[in-house]
Structure 1
């Protein structure tokens, strides 16, 4: 349980930074407290999307992994972030990713920040 909470908070921080850096990613809302709650809920949605859908997409795109030497991972991560935006919209969360290139850059930033924070905070999985 501790690992799940830590991963969610790490993803929330990474999503927040991506929303600050990338023009096509918006995290709107009212007060700072509302934004913090929104980004934590978006991180939960992102975690569910990555846990449930990403393995299926990776399995179906196995030939592309071999053909591109794994570079298709960047595209899959972008699609997972875009799907998170779509799901967040359906859940009335104030998180939006506008376009594939914003999703690609945002997914790259989220991956790097999540990796770095996991290293620093000692995520044991």
Structure 2
């Protein structure tokens, strides 16, 4: 349970960092970031695998690079669900989702959350 909470908090912090780095992303506060992290995690768990399977031919043709587009779509979808969290433009969401992954890896490393 501790690892789950630390991962959730690290994703919320990562979203806040991304909002500070990108002009097209806005988060109202830390509680909004917690909600956005929860919705983003749920969408990554449920919707992303379905999208990956549905777009498998395109993903194969692009050698897996279309996965970045799917990540951007999931980020934009999460922003559409959570009030106080806005992402402007799909291209910006794609770039932000890549940077979000990198920042989240760094923060989870600093918090000492390991993959068992």
The TM-score with structure 2 as length reference comes to: 0.90
- The answer on 1:42 being equivalent to 2:75 is no
Q: Who is 1:113 aligned against?
A: 103
Q: Who is 2:19 aligned against?
A: 19
The answer as to whether partners of 1:14 and 1:113 remain within 8 angstroms in 2 is yes
**Superposed displacement of residue 6, structure 1:** 1.7
- The answer on 1:95 being equivalent to 2:85 is yes
**Superposed displacement of residue 79, structure 1:** 0.4
Secondary structure at the counterpart of residue 6 of structure 2: helix
Find the aligned partners of 2:55 and 2:102 in 1 and give their Cα distance.
Answer: 23
Q: Who is 1:31 aligned against?
A: none
Segments of 4+ moved more than 6 angstroms? none
Find the aligned partners of 2:57 and 2:89 in 1 and give their Cα distance.
Answer: 26
**Superposed displacement of residue 117, structure 1:** 2.4
- The answer on 1:68 being equivalent to 2:62 is yes
Structure 2 residue ranges without an equivalent (≥5): none
Structure 1 residue ranges without an equivalent (≥5): 29-34
Find the aligned partners of 1:64 and 1:115 in 2 and give their Cα distance.
Answer: 27
Find the aligned partners of 2:103 and 2:70 in 1 and give their Cα distance.
Answer: 17
The answer as to whether partners of 1:23 and 1:102 remain within 8 angstroms in 2 is no
The answer as to whether partners of 1:26 and 1:97 remain within 8 angstroms in 2 is yes
Q: Who is 1:32 aligned against?
A: none
Question: Aligned Cα RMSD in Å?
Answer: 1.4
- The count of residues paired between Structure 1 and Structure 2 equals 115
Secondary structure at the counterpart of residue 70 of structure 1: coil
Find the aligned partners of 2:11 and 2:45 in 1 and give their Cα distance.
Answer: 13
